[in-house]
Structure 1
Amino acid sequence: MKFSLACLFSLLISLSGLAQVQKASQNSDPFFHIDSVLTSVLKDQHIAGFAVAVVKGDQVIYSKGFGYRDVENKKPVTTNTLFAIGSSSKAFTASLLGLLRKEGKLTFEDKAVDVLPQLQFYNDEMNNQITLRDLMAHRSGLSRYDSSWFLFNTKDRDSIIARVKYMQPKVGVREKWFYNNFMYLAQGMIAERFSGKTWEQNIQEKFFTPLEMTRSNTDIKTFQNDSDAALPYTLEKDNTIKKIDYYNINGMGPAGSINSSVNDMANWLKVWINDGSFKGKEIVPKNYITEAMSSQMVMSADLPDKHSDIFLANYGLGWMIGSYRGHYLVEHGGNINGFSANVAFFPSDKLGIVVLTNQNVSKVPMIVCNSIADRMLNLKPEDWNGEVKAAAAEKALQVKKETKKMPAPNTKPSHPLKEYTGSYTNRAYGTIKITFNGKDLYTRLKGEKIIFKHFHYDVFDPRAIDKNGKVDTDQSDLMFNFTTNVEGKIQGIELFLDGNEKPVLFDRDADKK
């Protein structure tokens, strides 16, 4: 077949036009090539799986699952796969108080101890000053005390909240921002008191049902038994993906026990970027929406650093607030055993992004959220995946250089092991009950069976025992140091908890006669 010069010229013009159309299409489509980018994140971050949904206005414009919800059985993540969202639950809990305020049942300036009598603080000054707004914005002056609920969990909320009375403040009320999960437990209990219903029932009736969040729940058993639930994983030092157990935080539920999918969470985001409404119906009062995503407390200076256009770290009511490359960002992350999450929205841009993963303390929600935001906001994309990958490699080198704590040689416990048994209590945390089976010392933490391995002197290394009876081989960061009184009898346990420079003392309970 022969072509004339005219035909050839016409063909070249057509191909050139087609290329320009394709290029224009690529430039106008923020999701062009995004699947490839996110697949690279899955591989480079050694993550089991994740799901993402993007909301623009009142429409979901992108949703997809990547990787596996069950690695061993190669079950893929879908947009309906359930993940634990951890502290991304806090915006739900705070919103319950927003609804109660609308009903005239409380104000955010009410004293917390008046609204919830079970809640008492360390001193009268705190009791007289701390308001509901202080609880919501983490302005109580109390540091995290997370080991209290994490190591000594119970479903009895009255029992957990009673520990707050024994928690010593780091600073005065409203002097400095300190994240404290107990303050969100208190809010959930306040909602229970005024409604006569459990926090779980309130979340279902006020949010899940009207928002058509049919996949979402607040119960660990319902979560575990779901046919499309993600299994929890962590990443070992050699980048091996390891399955871990689900963790039931039922007692502290209002601070972080919601389980959801990206499709369901997209409906929650629609509320926040549409003035509190969903399908024309008010879910959360508009004035509360504005207040919740406004700065209530400075978290830190967070000055421009490597990225000069990212700065500011403030807290609203259940939300964190920042400036992302010239755009107002409202977001909240979430971490609970084997799961990480990020729920974010840009109110001025009517844009929302939710990323849920089944990997412990993962950077993937941030990487994916930022990667999509760059494209949706017409910004020059940063290599967020490459940055985190490089930082992880550098950290891995540092870890290799670190050495394990070495025990002093030729030491032994000062007493027969049986004399270490008993109950040891710190009222801000809980009780450690130590038993002896004739050979070894045992206890339970986080609901797990723990065996004590002698380290040196009266210091013991607690190792978890899995369901198959296998003992953890890694050295624990939480060493138990048994103390004695002037008579030489075992009287307490010292533990370094929550980053404190001084050990926390658990006193041995008097023997019951």
Structure 2
Amino acid sequence: MVTSGIWNTFTAFCFLGLFCFTFVHSELDAAQLDSDIASVLGCKTSPALAVSVVLDGKAVFSKGYGYSDLQKTIPTTNNTIFGIASLSKAFAATLLLKLLDRHNISLNTPVVDVLGKDFRFEDDLRTKYATLEDLLSHRLGIPSNNNIRLDTNLTRANLPKRLRYLKATGGFRNSFFYSNLMYGVITYIAERLGGKTWEELVKEEIFTPLGMTSSDFTTIKDLKSRDVAKPIAVYGENNTFPVNTEFSRRWGLLCGSGCVMSTANDMIKWMHFHLTRGLDLQGRRIMDTKVMDPMYIPRNAFAGSSYKTFVRPRLPVTTSSGVYAMGWRRGYYRGYPIITHTGSTFGYRAIMILIPDKKFGVFMVATGNDDEYLFRVSLANYVIDATLGFTPWLNASTFCSFPQPWFGRKVTKYKLPDSSTPYKKNVSTYLGFFTNKAFGNMEVYYNASLGRVVIRYGYGEWALYPIAGPPDSFYGKGMGIISVKHCHTFVFRSGKGAGDRTVKIEAMCFEMKLPPVFVREGSVNSADSMLSFRTNTLALIFAVITAYYI
């Protein structure tokens, strides 16, 4: 997939023999770009990286770097499979547009008309008027409530029934509230229209026609197989932690929001498909242009940009993405309109930037973390410049020091709260069963072996450490399969007449804009409870009531 070559016409200045500042180009020097990227990876904390580039309808670069499995030292290739997280949203939008066209349904169709009269949002305005377009462009003003995905009782089918309990804090159609849950609803609607699982539909409608033979889904792929890059979380500078693959599988439940997995080679086909508005690499039409075009139309502006660090005069060149379309962000790089999106999930970071005017696309995915998109966007910028003939604003020295010398970066040190800080009350006052209409059930129990009060919500568990702040505030250290997902903050509240006994828990780390409140339903008497008969009974009763009344 990699095409080597030289610049046919150029004026260049090379810095340290690594990066060339070139003014007029006509052909990509893939070998030089390969060397540049390999050098860059050496000063970053991403264990595995894959990059691919398409230009003028051809794959001009595709390469893997580092190790997809650190323990087994398996080299990354352009066929290594990575989770691409929220780049999945473009797949969700593409699939839904195909299905809507097939069923003669408009994007302006109210959601209630598709899901039925029993569906509703928390208020009548959204229930009556919210459309499929509103779901796809994050215009509902409802906070993300992302951690509801941890609930083991959540399914794609019952997610819409929970939306009536989620209050809005932003305006309808005049605010931007990014929501994985709404793309979960889009996933379910696609399944309703297509009569199959979302995974089956994407394979039939997108993967197979485009020849994306290696692409898959976190929900069904064997994530321990040799061809998968193992997800790695990084805290601080070099503290790496493997992400439990069972967590990756479960977290991907709302598939259209972030479950797609792919390779550098397969994503070339995906980029070409969008740059040509519906063609595969052989020039065959896979989707009508008129059906695709609504996907790219700007529909919702938001303050700043997801690439807010990359603006002039802070940096020499601006990369903007301050408008949302459907499954894509719109913005500019060096004055050229771009179609872009990022993907961030536990252990994976991805980005795609398309420049339609130049028939250019770059895809990058890595394991590890990438705060503020510093690695992804800067590397994508360099690849754009190297491919299209712009003078790169980064060189060998500044790439490794970035964001210096332009500005400093504060590194968050990975440090737990002081474990010697005692609980302020008898631990028995914290214990019990709590419930929330939208989120479901939560259990608080005491783990004698850890000497810690523990919150269990769905498949998530957190050991609680007292912290400063409101009385009875706690930091939650992730346990079990979610050991890389910590939670800051839980606040336990006592009530009048209850003494020190907790009557409700504000899960601020579940949703900062409007924290869900879990209200006490029972108590735990054992010193070291696990999921008891009572827990299972409450969960079953709640599930039955939810299914019947909601």
Question: How would you bin the TM-score normalised by the shorter chain?
Answer: 0.7 to 0.9
User: Quick check: 258-267 or 237-246, which moved more?
Assistant: 237-246
Q: Tell me the residue number matched to 2:169.
A: 170
Q: Tell me the residue number matched to 2:100.
A: 101
Assess if the C-alpha contact under 8 Å between 2:7 and 2:28 holds in 1: no
In structure 2, what residue type is equivalent to 1:103? R
Assess if the C-alpha contact under 8 Å between 1:374 and 1:381 holds in 2: yes
Which of 497, 507, 510 is equivalent to 2:519? 507
Query: Is it true that 1:463 corresponds to 2:477 in the alignment?
Result: yes
**2: CA distance, partners of 1:50 / 1:111:** 41
- 1:314 deviates by 0.9
1:419-469 per-residue CA deviation (whole Å, 9 max, x = no partner) reads 4333212223332122335564333357344333455863444323347xx
- 1:424-503 alignment, distance < 5 Å: 424-437=434-447, 440-445=452-457, 447-454=459-466, 458-466=472-480, 477-487=487-497, 488=499, 489-497=501-509, 500=512, 503=515
Relative to structure 1, the CA distance from residue 226 to residue 296 in structure 2 (aligned partners, 3 Å threshold; closer, same or farther) is: same
Q: Tell me the residue number matched to 2:49.
A: 50
Q: Tell me the residue number matched to 2:66.
A: 67
Assess if the C-alpha contact under 8 Å between 1:367 and 1:384 holds in 2: no
In structure 1, what residue type is equivalent to 2:391? K
User: Quick check: 316-325 or 103-112, which moved more?
Assistant: 103-112
Assess if the C-alpha contact under 8 Å between 2:48 and 2:64 holds in 1: yes
Secondary structure of the residue aligned to 2:353 is strand
Q: Tell me the residue number matched to 1:11.
A: none
- 1:322-401 alignment, distance < 5 Å: 322-361=331-370, 363=373, 364-383=375-394, 386=398, 389-391=401-403, 397=410, 399=412
Q: Tell me the residue number matched to 2:275.
A: 273
Q: Tell me the residue number matched to 1:16.
A: none
**1: CA distance, partners of 2:366 / 2:323:** 25
- 1:4-19 alignment, distance < 5 Å: none
**2: CA distance, partners of 1:225 / 1:403:** 29
Query: Is it true that 1:146 corresponds to 2:146 in the alignment?
Result: yes
Q: Tell me the residue number matched to 2:124.
A: 124
In structure 1, what residue type is equivalent to 2:369? N
**1: CA distance, partners of 2:277 / 2:483:** 52
In structure 2, what residue type is equivalent to 1:268? W
Relative to structure 1, the CA distance from residue 46 to residue 408 in structure 2 (aligned partners, 3 Å threshold; closer, same or farther) is: closer
**2: CA distance, partners of 1:510 / 1:493:** 13
In structure 2, what residue type is equivalent to 1:379? F
Query: Is it true that 1:283 corresponds to 2:297 in the alignment?
Result: no
In structure 2, what residue type is equivalent to 1:447? Y
Q: Which has the larger radius of gyration?
A: 1
Which of 311, 315, 319 is equivalent to 2:324? 315
Secondary structure of the residue aligned to 2:390 is coil
**2: CA distance, partners of 1:413 / 1:301:** 42
**1: CA distance, partners of 2:7 / 2:170:** 61
Relative to structure 1, the CA distance from residue 190 to residue 412 in structure 2 (aligned partners, 3 Å threshold; closer, same or farther) is: closer
In structure 2, what residue type is equivalent to 1:106? I
Relative to structure 1, the CA distance from residue 387 to residue 508 in structure 2 (aligned partners, 3 Å threshold; closer, same or farther) is: farther
User: Quick check: 131-140 or 370-379, which moved more?
Assistant: 370-379
The CA RMSD over aligned residues, in Å, is 3.3
Assess if the C-alpha contact under 8 Å between 1:121 and 1:165 holds in 2: yes
- 1:174 deviates by 0.8
Relative to structure 1, the CA distance from residue 491 to residue 72 in structure 2 (aligned partners, 3 Å threshold; closer, same or farther) is: same
**2: CA distance, partners of 1:76 / 1:283:** 34
Assess if the C-alpha contact under 8 Å between 1:70 and 1:231 holds in 2: yes
Secondary structure of the residue aligned to 1:209 is helix
Instruction: Provide structure 1 residue ranges, at least 5 long, that are not aligned to the other structure.
Output: 1-18
Relative to structure 1, the CA distance from residue 431 to residue 360 in structure 2 (aligned partners, 3 Å threshold; closer, same or farther) is: farther
Assess if the C-alpha contact under 8 Å between 1:144 and 1:498 holds in 2: no
Assess if the C-alpha contact under 8 Å between 1:154 and 1:160 holds in 2: no
Structure 2 length as normaliser, TM-score?
A: 0.80
- 1:40 deviates by 2.7
**1: CA distance, partners of 2:59 / 2:224:** 28
- 1:230 deviates by 0.2
Relative to structure 1, the CA distance from residue 96 to residue 451 in structure 2 (aligned partners, 3 Å threshold; closer, same or farther) is: same
Q: How many residues in Structure 1 have an aligned counterpart in Structure 2?
A: 487
**2: CA distance, partners of 1:407 / 1:372:** 46
**2: CA distance, partners of 1:238 / 1:508:** 40
Assess if the C-alpha contact under 8 Å between 1:277 and 1:284 holds in 2: yes
Structure 1 length as normaliser, TM-score?
A: 0.85
- 1:152 deviates by 3.2
Relative to structure 1, the CA distance from residue 453 to residue 498 in structure 2 (aligned partners, 3 Å threshold; closer, same or farther) is: closer
Secondary structure of the residue aligned to 1:424 is strand
In structure 1, what residue type is equivalent to 2:394? D
Relative to structure 1, the CA distance from residue 406 to residue 451 in structure 2 (aligned partners, 3 Å threshold; closer, same or farther) is: closer
